Amino acid sequence: MADLNWKSATKLVKGYAKGKFSPVEVTKACLAQMERHEPALNAMVEIHADEALKAAKASEKRWKKGEPQGPVDGVPTLVKDLLLVRGWPTCRGSKTVNPDQPWEHDAPSVARLRESGAVFLGATTTPEFGWKGVTDSPLTGITRNPWNITKTPGGSSGGSSAGAAAGYAPLTLGTDGGGSIRIPAGFTGIFGLKPSFGRVPAWPLSPFGTVAHVGPMTRDVEDAAVMMNVISRPDPRDWHALPYDHADYAAKLKKKSLKGLRIAYSPTLGYVDVDPEISGLVGKAVSFLAELGAHVDEVDPGFEDPAPCFRVLWWSGARA
C-alpha cells in the first residue's frame, strides 16, 4: 500500500491485528518518506533505520502470534532530541554535547512507549536546548515547514511537528515550556497537547522547572489520546509526578456529551490582540463545546501581560 506512512496509529494497529499489513512494511514506508523529503525539511537529527527495522520485525512476530506488547506495538515513533533514548546521544540541538556518549536509559515517556512496542525511527530537531519558538540550531541548521519550505514549523518541537505533518511517523514526542508543542502543532496543522505538569512523568528533570512538560504530537486526536494512555503511566524517577489516575483518554473521546463539564474561555486573556480569523475559529470551537453540553463561561483572567515574568523564568532555565 502506497499510503501506509499516512495511516493513523489506531488504524495501523487494527490493520496489524487483521494481517492487512505488517510493522515492517509500515516502517519501510515511513523510512522511504524520510528519504524523499528529509533533504528539504531537515526535521531529523538522526535516523536509526537498522534499529527500527529490527524492532519492527520483532513486533511483526508478536502480531503473528496474536500477542501484541501494547496499544502502540509496531507503530513508528519519533522522539524530540531533548528526551533520552537508550543507545542514542541526545544532543539537545547543541554542539556542546558529545555525540559519542549514548545514554544508558530511556526517559519515562520513551520507556513507556518502548514497553508498549513502539518502533523508534529517530530523533527530531530542536533549537539549542529547546529555548525558542523556531527550530534552528548550530548542530542541525534550519528545519522547514512541510506545507511551505520557506516557512518555519515553529519550535521548539519543530522537528517533531514537521515529521508528523510530512508523514514520517504517526506518533511523535514533544516537550513544551513556553509553547514548544502548541506553537509547532499550530504552524503545521497537527494536534499537540501540553498535559498538566506531572501528568506525564519526566526524567531527568528540566532546568526550566515546572513550566516544562512532555506531550504527544500527532496528526490524529485519537492517536494523541492513545499515546497519553501510554506515556502517563507512572515512573518512580520523577518525584514531581502526579498520582497515576488510570485514565483512559481514548475511551473518553467516545463520549457523546460534555454535560457537567465547566469551561472558562477568555477571547484575549485580557491583554492580547488576536487576529480576527483566529478569534472567529476559536469562537466556533467554543460554540461547539456548548452544543455538546459543556457550560462555557467567558472570563477575564484579571492579569496583565505575563511576558516579563516569564522571560525571567525562561532565561534562568536556559542559562542553567
Q: Is 318 exposed, middle or buried (0-12, 13-18, 19+ CB in 10 A)?
A: middle
d(CA 290, CA 315): 39
Single-letter amino acid code for the residue at 222: E
Whether 157 is catalytic is: no
Please identify which of the residues 59, 180, 206, 232 carries the catalytic annotation: 180
Residue with cell 515546572: 210
290: cell is 456548548
d(CA 185, CA 179): 9
Single-letter amino acid code for the residue at 35: E
- Contact between residue 37 and residue 23 where contact means Cβ atoms under 8 Å apart: no
Whether 80 is catalytic is: yes
Please identify which of the residues 156, 157, 206, 232 carries the catalytic annotation: 156
Distances in Å between the alpha carbon of 252 and those of 111, 170, 206, 255?
Answer: 24, 21, 30, 6
Whether 232 is catalytic is: no
- Residues in contact with 118: Cβ distance below 8 Å, sequence separation at least 6, in sequence order: 72, 73, 75, 76, 77, 171, 230
Residue 175 has φ and ψ, to the nearest 5°, of -130, 155
Please identify which of the residues 80, 116, 160, 206 carries the catalytic annotation: 80
Residue with cell 457550560: 295
Q: Which residues are catalytic?
A: 80, 156, 180
